Amino acid sequence: MRVAVVGAGSIGLAVAWRAAEAGAKVVVHDPEPGSGASRVAAGMIAPVTEAHYGEEALTPFIAASADAWPAFARELEAASGLGVGFRDVPTVVACVEDGDRAELQRQVDLYRRTARHVETLTARAARKAEPLLSHRVRAAVLATEDRAVDPRAVHTALLAAVEDAGVELRSDRVDDLDAIEADQVVLAAGCGSANFSPKWSIPVRPVRGAVLRLRAVGDQPVPRTTVRGYVKGHSVYIVTRDSGEVVVGATSDERGFDRRTGTAGAVHDLLRWSVELVPEIAEYHLEEVSVGFRPGTPDNLPLIGRLDERTVAATGHYRNGIALIPATATAVAALIAGEEPDSLAAFDPLRFNRSEARTRTLTAAPNTTTRPVPEPTTEEADS
Ligand SMILES: Cc1cc2nc3c(=O)[nH]c(=O)nc-3n(C[C@H](O)[C@H](O)[C@H](O)COP(=O)(O)OP(=O)(O)OC[C@H]3O[C@@H](n4cnc5c(N)ncnc54)[C@H](O)[C@@H]3O)c2cc1C
């Protein structure tokens, strides 16, 4: 079988790798592999601390993907000969002011709905879990099953693994899926996935986010856990790599594809809030400010499934695309093989086409008193 994958971000490459392993002849098309969100992301694999109200349908899929990550990381490292920076460390979510306690409590209620292990901590227990936490921390929560990985290392390893598996990488931009010669086509172009064909509406939009990359030098200590928190009503996270890199994120705005790195004020805010949680951050070297575009959808859920008998969507992963790599790759390989994985029921890529059609019918119907159901609004993202 000939499979074409449009997009060489981590989702497209992981799908290509799985399809090639299953015996397909795979070609990946991308004019600039790795230019998307996959090399900007912080790398949290966070089925608990990325839980959001209204996104419950994602819970089983992200949980399955998080559980698959340790084996996926080992397999990818073996196939590529490269490390992917997988860290089996918990996440501490902390607050420094009484005013942020209510938000933390609201989050705990949500975290508990994931049915994964969540522990509330006193300030003293929190500093035992993460010794670099500020003495101003009032309370915290420990999510022992959230983990992290280095997304740049993952992308580099995927490039090596697909090459080793015989996948052909073509540096061309695809504008017309129908022009591709293949038995199956996978659309995995992240924020570039909208407007490929008038046949379908693929409502992926760029949700811009900036992250900072800092580095501890010499024997400077770094957080041993992933630290998240609420500071004066703002959320911030700190993700540490074994290399000494520390990622602080993230801003979130909807201003299209504005590739400028953001204002000095935004960088200042991220630094100020992260230093409130972990004062040591003020001592690190600031190496990079980067922006990326999360592929957002109207209901914040991904678009994974069949568009037609030849075309499969694997896009719209919004703020969890790194966490969702293993589950997406496995499910899309199954789709290509003609199966219909139950795990994808909530992610039908044509669900908005249907609601548009329904809205059109309702609006056109004479004497109707029924109003079209508005699409849900997007919650503010924080990763
Ligand atoms: C600041 C920030 C922090 C994040 N943190 C996390 C995190 O901690 N954990 C997590 O799980 N997720 C995180 N994410 C989300 C995650 O990065 C994305 O969901 C994920 O990378 C999407 O991967 P992708 O392969 O679908 O898209 P991308 O990585 O964007 O790749 C898309 C590729 O498609 C190519 N392309 C586009 N159009 C075309 C075309 N017409 N023809 C051919 N190729 C095309 C592009 O060149 C690009 O290489 C974060 C994102 C941002 C921006």
Distance CA 204, CA 56 (A): 20
Distance CA 50, CA 239 (A): 14
Q: What's the Cα-to-Cα distance from 378 to each of 28, 54, 124, 291, 318, rounded to whole Å?
A: 31, 9, 36, 20, 11
The reported pLDDT for the residue numbered 383 is: 62
Q: 199 and 245 share a domain?
A: no
Q: 232 and 289 share a domain?
A: yes
102: buried, middle or exposed (CB in 10 Å: 19+, 13-18, 0-12)?
exposed
Q: 134 and 156 share a domain?
A: no
The reported pLDDT for the residue numbered 359 is: 54
Nearest CA to ligand 1 atom 18: 321
Residue 22 pLDDT exceeds 80: yes
Choice between 99 and 312, residue whose per-residue pLDDT is larger: 312
Residue 50 pLDDT exceeds 60: yes
78 token code pair = 């073996």
Average pLDDT over residues 352-381: 44
The reported pLDDT for the residue numbered 364 is: 47
CATH number at residue 101: 3.30.9.10
> What average pLDDT does the chain have?
92
Residue 43 pLDDT exceeds 50: yes
Q: What is the pLDDT of residues 277-322, one digit of tens each?
A: 999 999 999 999 999 999 999 999 999 999 999 999 999 999 999 9
**Domain final position from 241, 271, 293:** 293
Q: 258 and 327 share a domain?
A: no
Q: What is the pLDDT of residues 226-270, one digit of tens each?
A: 999 999 999 999 999 999 999 999 999 998 888 887 789 999 999
Distance CA 131, CA 31 (A): 45
Choice between 85 and 383, residue whose per-residue pLDDT is larger: 85
Range of the domain at 340: 1-86+148-204+297-383
pLDDT confidence bin for 375, thresholds 50/70/90:
very low
Q: 225 and 127 share a domain?
A: yes
Choice between 354 and 46, residue whose per-residue pLDDT is larger: 46
Q: 79 and 108 share a domain?
A: no
340: buried, middle or exposed (CB in 10 Å: 19+, 13-18, 0-12)?
exposed
CATH number at residue 187: 3.50.50.60
Q: 65 and 99 share a domain?
A: no
Q: 7 and 127 share a domain?
A: no
If one counts the domains in the chain, the total is 2
Nearest CA to ligand 1 atom 6: 41
- Ligand 1 atom closest to the Cα of residue 315 is 26
Q: How far is the CA of 194 from the centre of ligand 1 (A)?
A: 14
- Ligand 1 atom closest to the Cα of residue 316 is 26
Q: Give me the residue label for tokens 């003020």.
A: 282
Nearest CA to ligand 1 atom 2: 41
Q: 313 and 361 share a domain?
A: yes
Average pLDDT over residues 369-374: 32
* Ligand 1 pocket, residue 8 CB under 6 Å: yes
Average pLDDT over residues 345-367: 68
Q: Could you give phi then psi for residue 168, rounded to 5 degrees?
A: -95, 130
Q: 183 and 125 share a domain?
A: no
Residue 181 pLDDT exceeds 60: yes
Q: 228 and 341 share a domain?
A: no
DSSP one-letter code for 331: H
45: buried, middle or exposed (CB in 10 Å: 19+, 13-18, 0-12)?
buried
* Ligand 1 pocket, residue 174 CB under 6 Å: yes
Q: 310 and 357 share a domain?
A: yes
Contact 132, 278 (CB under 8 A): yes
Secondary structure (H, E, C), 160-188: HHHHHCCCEEECCCCCCHHHCCCCEEEEC
Distance CA 168, CA 4 (A): 10
The reported pLDDT for the residue numbered 98 is: 86
Choice between 261 and 70, residue whose per-residue pLDDT is larger: 70
Q: Could you give phi then psi for residue 143, rounded to 5 degrees?
A: -110, 100
Radius of gyration for the alpha carbons in the chain, expressed in angstroms and rounded: 21
Residue 368 pLDDT exceeds 50: no
pLDDT confidence bin for 357, thresholds 50/70/90:
low
Residue 356 pLDDT exceeds 60: no
**Domain final position from 249, 269, 293:** 293
Quickly list H helices, 197-307: 264-277
Nearest CA to ligand 1 atom 19: 321
**Domain final position from 257, 276, 293:** 293
